[in-house]
Structure 1
Amino acid sequence: MPNGSEARKVKVQVEAFQLFNQQYYSLLIQDEHVELDQGKAHPFYGMAQALSADLKNSLLELRYQPQINIVDNSLYGVEVLARWTSDEFGSVTPDRFVALAEEFGLIAELDLWVLRQSCQQLASWRARGVYIPIIAVNFSPLSFNYPGLKYEIQSLLDQNGLLASSLVIEVTESEKIKTSDLFVDVINDLHSIGVIISLDDFGTEHSNLKRLLKFPVSQLKLDRTFVNDLPNKLSKDLSEVVLSICKKIGAVAIAEGVETQQQLSCLKRMGYEVVQGYIFSPPLSKYELEHWLHSME
């Protein structure tokens, strides 16, 4: 029989896998939303109209948060984050306007706008000798319903002279991921041309280990809830489980939301190699990122 320490370790492993596997979803991507021209009675119709107009006029802004390889303190990549300040509604949080875009069928337009701007910016940086290894762009699971997504992404990469290996598509772990044949096919198509596939917020209540068997994942991003509670023992044990899963499937583990030296030291001791968070930098404008990179030289 295992001793007390080993028994506790086994119990933690079991609890972790139960956490990751709480729900087994049916094999569908939900795509229910309110059409913009049919939702005039919806309480957020006006805000959705404003978002649609600002997208068409490219009035949203991008921020870039560095991801750091803490083994050699080099830049691993940057995550691209959209920000929206509306003339009518003021500053709208990302959670709110992303949910709004999903609700009103604008999410693919939003995600592709961010990708288009990101590719152009990465190409501009590289043309001026500012080297960013990879950019990570968030995609809602609902955007994978967009017809010809693979060809749209390949076209954007080609137009900007970028290799597919320069791009990470981050899919957020959520109840909206219903692993349909279409979703899996698009993920595999993107992987086949060299795009890096990342699962964001891994370890949340919506995480599903079966998903890792369905499509190729090159990155897992540890949910910031675990990082926030470090060095709490259970959070540490669960973080180690995620790292172990990454090693088994050959994926890079990224810890996000790192804010304190204590959290960073704990992640280092566990074996995490890539982190992002305010301990290194908040999300930055393109000019601020250039200045930050210069200061790191």
Structure 2
Amino acid sequence: MTYEGTLTKMQTEFANPIQYYLVFENSFLNVNQLLNKNVEISFQGYQCLNCGKKKKIYRQGFCYDCFYSSPAVGDWIMKPELSTAHLGIQDRDLVYEEKVQLQPHIVYLALSSEIKVGVTRKTQMPTRWIDQGATQAISIVEVPNRYLAGITEVALKNHFADKTNWRKMLQNNVEQVDLIAEKLKVQNWIPTEVQEYFYSEKNDLYEMHFPVLEYPKKINSLSLDKTPNFQGKLTGIKGQYLLFDDGTVFNVRSFEGYVVTINV
């Protein structure tokens, strides 16, 4: 069976195990059903996720022009502490920025390789943690805007990593840590203006179980720019990665905006 379309990050369903879906314009594919089967991925071209034009992808699924003009990829996306909508100050499009920034955000601890601190909109729980390949996650604070979440994350970067070691995550080389105990340490580390939002009593620990038959011992990252046609047996899905039996791993999110055909 053949599927064709523009790659976007896999949609997920919080279940045991996590369910993954590749969604194209006219079809979708439950990726879990491909486990232990041969899958062929072939690069066909580009389509910018913003303007829809068949222009080479620059970053994050956007062509060069859209990456430097769209409010969806402003600097505050990666650095929440740069958010200014709460002050009524525009970066690229204040209406868009108010919509995204002025809503409840969560600062959390997640365990994907070692403990990391991160920020997500409340509506993105637990999707954000699934996308990172976290096996466990716990909320620290819920704040009313992205700026407060950002300054909290900055303060906690002095104590925790803020990036996932993706190789350790994919090899399931994960530290054994009590996240509830770690959370109780952070109250004195967060900014004064965020103290009132600290979740002192609520300790909802999320656990994620990924559909992986076998973790790779050695990792070779697949690039569609270098290898436009790849075939292998799918042995797992974790984070936004497809894992194959020869140690090849494919980060779907890194190739958003690439048009592919997938033969099963």
TM-score of the pair, normalised by structure 2:
0.30
TM-score of the pair, normalised by structure 1:
0.28
Structure number having the greater helix percentage: 1
Structure number having the greater strand percentage: 2
